[in-house]
């Protein structure tokens, strides 16, 4: 496996984040363009203005509230210091080891052993673990998992992944709206058939392409986060044991988790749904060589 320096990884992630945001914006405007021609070119300017305003506000709102959106979408609650003392202590230790600010800590109800991190930068980050992880993992194992999540924050993976998630959600919404609106189209036969076809093709293809992007990007990141997790704890054993516990455990699929946020998680919350994560065996193997 090629080695990536952390600083390169970070600037890479920042750059790609901005690039993606620009792409989202362009795609959105393009959608508006096609839609306006598909329906009525007379409304071109109005539709364009609306789509620009909508896409900008969608991007900005989700960028600045990504942590809250992610936490709310899985129904997680703020962890209390009294009840989850070990959780707090472990993360505090890890922030000392990594020199990072303390993220906000959340807990979500679930039998699965899982966790995720979100936010736009280390100063506005959250870590969320499942109650299953808190109950079933030993101290060092939990520490390994938390360290993995903290490295997602340190590497700015959270920003990038959040923006990708936002993009997936938005494109899905827009293509749905477009496809459905075709039903209500007035039956006049102006010369806009070609735009309707383009629109339909875009509406069908865009979500697929975007999910493929989403799948490919999150796998590499998991290896990188495992590696930096070990850099913080200097103890691969904890993470290995946690991964093995997830491997042998048979947990019911998580119903509350939207598929859009799956790549944010420590291990895939769904069975057999694409591969947002590299196989556990592979991750364990790489860690055991460290």
Partner 1 sequence: MALIWWILGVVLLIAIIFMYYYNRFQVLLNRIDNSLSQIDVQLKRRADLIPNLIETVKGFVKHETSAIKAVTEARKALVSAKGVVDKVKADNKLESALKTIFAIAEGYPDLKANTNFLELQRELASTEDKVAYARQYYNDSILTYNNLSTTMPGAFFAKLYGKKEREYLKITEAEKKPVNVKF
Q: Say whether 149 is catalytic.
A: yes
Q: Measured from the CB atom, is 63 or 235 closer to partner 1?
A: 235
Count of CA atoms in the C-beta half-sphere (13 A) of 260: 18
What are the contacts of 1-9 at 24+ separation with CB within 8 A?
Answer: 1/223, 1/286, 4/224, 6/154, 6/155, 6/228, 9/155, 9/224
* 99 binds partner 1, rule: CB under 8 A: yes
* 85 binds partner 1, rule: CB under 8 A: yes
Facing residues of 41 across strands? none
* 86 binds partner 1, rule: CB under 8 A: yes
Query: Please, what is the Cα angle at 96 between 93 and 101, to 5 degrees?
Result: 110
User: Among 4, 97, 134, 280, which residue interacts with partner 1 (rule: CB under 8 A)?
Assistant: 97
Catalytic residue among 141, 143, 149, 222: 149
Question: CB 95 → partner 1: shortest distance, Å?
Answer: 9
State whether residue 73 is helix, strand or coil.
helix
* 89 binds partner 1, rule: CB under 8 A: yes
Angstrom CA distances, 105 to 32, 199, 229, 289, stand at 39, 43, 18, 31
Q: Can you give 32-59 as a three-state secondary structure string?
A: HHHHHHHHCHHHHHHHHHHHHHHHHHHH
Number of residues engaging partner 1 in binding (CB under 8 A):
12
User: Among 3, 234, 255, 271, which residue interacts with partner 1 (rule: CB under 8 A)?
Assistant: 234
Specify the stretch interacting with partner 1 by CB under 8 A; choose among 16-24, 44-52, 90-98, 153-161: 90-98
**Cβ neighbours, 10 Å, residue 271:** 9
User: Among 47, 76, 94, 113, which residue interacts with partner 1 (rule: CB under 8 A)?
Assistant: 94
User: Among 62, 98, 155, 162, which residue interacts with partner 1 (rule: CB under 8 A)?
Assistant: 98
* 96 binds partner 1, rule: CB under 8 A: yes
* 93 binds partner 1, rule: CB under 8 A: yes
The C-alpha atoms of residue 215 and residue 210 are separated, in whole angstroms, by 9
Q: Which residues are catalytic?
A: 149
Where does this chain bind partner 1 (CB under 8 A)?
85-86, 89-90, 92-94, 96-99, 234
């Amino acid at each position: 496996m090629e080695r990536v320096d952390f600083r390169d990884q970070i600037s890479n992630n920042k750059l790609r984040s901005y690039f993606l945001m620009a792409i989202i914006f362009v795609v959105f405007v393009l959608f508006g363009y096609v839609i306006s021609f598909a329906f009525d070119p007379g409304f071109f300017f109005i539709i364009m203005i609306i789509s620009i305003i909508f896409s900008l506000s969608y991007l900005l709102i989700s960028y600045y509230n990504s942590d809250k959106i992610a936490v709310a979408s899985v129904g997680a609650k703020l962890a209390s210091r009294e009840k989850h003392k070990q959780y707090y202590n472990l993360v505090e230790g890890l922030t000392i080891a990594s020199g990072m600010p303390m993220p906000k800590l959340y807990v979500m109800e679930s039998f699965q052993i899982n966790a995720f991190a979100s936010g736009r930068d280390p100063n506005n980050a959250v870590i969320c673990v499942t109650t299953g992880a808190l109950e079933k993992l030993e101290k060092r194992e939990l520490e390994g998992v938390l360290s993995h999540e903290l490295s997602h924050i340190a590497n700015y993976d959270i920003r990038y992944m959040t923006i990708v998630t936002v993009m997936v959600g938005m494109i899905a919404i827009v293509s749905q709206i477009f496809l459905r609106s075709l039903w209500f189209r007035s039956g006049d036969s102006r010369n806009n058939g070609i735009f309707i076809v383009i629109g339909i093709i875009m509406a069908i293809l865009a979500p697929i392409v975007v999910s493929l992007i989403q799948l490919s990007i999150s796998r590499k990141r998991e290896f990188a986060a495992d590696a930096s997790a070990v850099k913080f704890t200097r103890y691969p054993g904890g993470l290995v044991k946690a991964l093995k516990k997830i491997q042998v455990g048979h947990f019911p699929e998580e119903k509350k988790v939207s598929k859009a946020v799956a790549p944010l998680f420590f291990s895939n919350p769904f069975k057999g749904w694409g591969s947002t994560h590299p196989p556990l065996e592979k991750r364990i193997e790489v860690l055991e060589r460290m």
